[in-house]
Structure 1
């Protein structure tokens, strides 16, 4: 099936008419994209509201799978953990702290310090995500109000920046960002809890698939050649199939704060956060919408649009 202009036009006039038609199509698309940008802004504002501090926050239950090793909950308000009440039962933990007014509890308690001088417990990925969303809102305002909305190149560049920011924000929610735990700054500050965490107890908080992920490790020093021999023996028995390690770091030696240590127990618990799940779903929809807008503009501007297929 083919189309033709009747009556036939001279080649030079036909070229001018085609150019004029393409210009009208581009102008129409740029006008339509302004509506898409307003819808995008609305979606971004919904994401920002879900990450903003609220009165009650989100209370997330934490429980180890098929064991009593860890039970408790944490409360997230915006980008901060404002409350935590966790009970641990691991053989490698130090004795629970004692008080004169009550007997020693049968578990090791982790209570977030209520002191106003206590160090705030922030979730770093959420701070970055909130910054990216605010940057997107600024980009939409520029493309809608202060920039040249009739300039296809300008709008294309704004759409690319928006797409990059939304993709990064969604990736931070989905893929776990876990720097090496052997860097002390990766772990929760001991002073965030009352009483402060034992030096042999490390706690790391990350995000995975919009879930709060808590990883707990208990450390013991490698102080003598017999410790190294014991580790080699366990490693060889694992290779022979005689014994299965309790966790993936059981047969390794690490350097933490200048000392050689081994990980005696490692526990990982996840708790889905409904608010963060909603943010991730909205960001995914916004990402797909931006890709469609970019592809349409690329095609009308004369490009193949294959990058966004």
Structure 2
């Protein structure tokens, strides 16, 4: 069975008719995509609001289950822990209470990076709408060197990468995977009142590593009791360990030596007004290239975005201490993990996943109408 067109059409006329039909379909889809992009922008603005530094913030309980090793709470406002009180009853440390200095809040690096990604995504979507649909904003110049479908394809790929990285930050590393960042990103003792002991403050006296991270949209606190690796061990302790009357607490970091130096810098853009964004020609240069033409389109599109917004580069980290910090070899005598689910971050993660699915569907449909393969 065959299909024939009557009256017959010459091959060149048939090809021209097919091209005209494909162009009409593409123009129709680009016009329909406007509503989808507008909804994406509103959704991203909602995500942005969930991470905004609005008082009174979120109060999160930090307590170990089935025991009283850690009992307390902290308050997160935006990307910072602004206050909190935590009572510790660890086996290897004297009982103590940690109080966060309200004048020196703790900045959460994953949330600071997440804030930057959301800022970049909102600005990217706003400029994509402006350049692709100039009739809505007549004051914004058009880009005649980039056809709207190709421009949209390049911009949506950048946006997809940004949303993927944002979701990955909230997901965090797998629980069983080792996380070496605590050796350099633990909270400085100066964030507390009074500051707790530093590992090289007095040889032989253990101190504390206070490390915060994000995992599965929850705030995770890692507490490690530290002991300098070169601290002398008295004869009584050696004898007790040898005959078995005393033993070290078992965990996955037992008897390992770590080079420890707590964090004493403020992450870029961690002030009250977090409005910085990326201005690199390719905001995510570590992603593999897919083809030269699309790379050129992304560079021109991103350059237009940066030039129109006149964005500034993030400020460099600000050192809180003038002295160069010394790395000390330490043992981890005790290790405790405390997790607290954050309702705002859980909602933010769900919204980002939904926006990612919507964006992925729009990208696949656009690639199908353009007759191209969608690149991840």
TM-score where L is the length of structure 2: 0.69
Partner of 2:358: 289
Partner of 2:98: 110
Partner of 1:73: 73
Describe the superposition over 1:179-220 as per-residue Cα deviations: whole angstroms up to 9, x where unpaired. 53222xx01110111010222111001000100000011111
Q: 1:201 to 1:224 in 2, by over 3 A?
A: closer
**4+ residue segments displaced more than 4 Å:** 1-4, 147-150, 224-227
2:125 to 129, 134, 140: 140
Partners of 1:89 and 1:304 in 2: CA distance = 58
Q: 1:27 to 1:43 in 2, by over 3 A?
A: same
**Structure 1 residue 83 displacement after superposition:** 1.1
Partners of 2:131 and 2:196 in 1: CA distance = 52
Partner of 1:101: none
2:368 to 294, 299, 307: 299
Partner of 1:272: 341
Partner of 1:100: none
3-state SS of 2:73 partner: strand
Contact kept, 8 Å, 1:47 with 1:282, in 2: the verdict is yes
Partners of 2:196 and 2:6 in 1: CA distance = 84
Partner of 1:99: none
1:222 to 214, 218, 229: 229
Q: 1:226 to 1:179 in 2, by over 3 A?
A: closer
RMSD: 2.6
3-state SS of 2:182 partner: coil
- The structure whose RCO (Cα within 8 Å, separation 6+) is larger is 2
3-state SS of 2:183 partner: coil
Partners of 1:278 and 1:136 in 2: CA distance = 18
Unaligned runs of 5+ in 1: 95-106, 238-242
Contact kept, 8 Å, 1:148 with 1:154, in 2: the verdict is no
3-state SS of 1:13 partner: helix
1:203 to 210, 220, 238: 210
Contact kept, 8 Å, 2:118 with 2:166, in 1: the verdict is yes
Partner of 2:61: 61
Partners of 2:187 and 2:254 in 1: CA distance = 22
- Equivalences, count: 280
Unaligned runs of 5+ in 2: 135-146, 199-206, 261-325
Partners of 1:2 and 1:281 in 2: CA distance = 50
Partner of 1:90: 90
Partners of 2:164 and 2:6 in 1: CA distance = 48
**Structure 1 residue 246 displacement after superposition:** 2.3
TM-score where L is the length of structure 1: 0.83
Mapping of residues 3-22 of structure 1, within 5 Å: 4-22=4-22
Contact kept, 8 Å, 1:245 with 1:251, in 2: the verdict is no
Partner of 1:173: 170
Partners of 2:255 and 2:2 in 1: CA distance = 71
Q: 1:301 to 1:3 in 2, by over 3 A?
A: farther
Partners of 2:232 and 2:86 in 1: CA distance = 36
3-state SS of 2:53 partner: coil
Partners of 1:247 and 1:65 in 2: CA distance = 18
Partners of 2:255 and 2:27 in 1: CA distance = 65
**Structure 1 residue 244 displacement after superposition:** 9.6
Partners of 1:290 and 1:71 in 2: CA distance = 42
**Structure 1 residue 254 displacement after superposition:** 2.0
Q: 1:179 to 1:249 in 2, by over 3 A?
A: closer
Partner of 1:48: 48
Partner of 2:187: 188
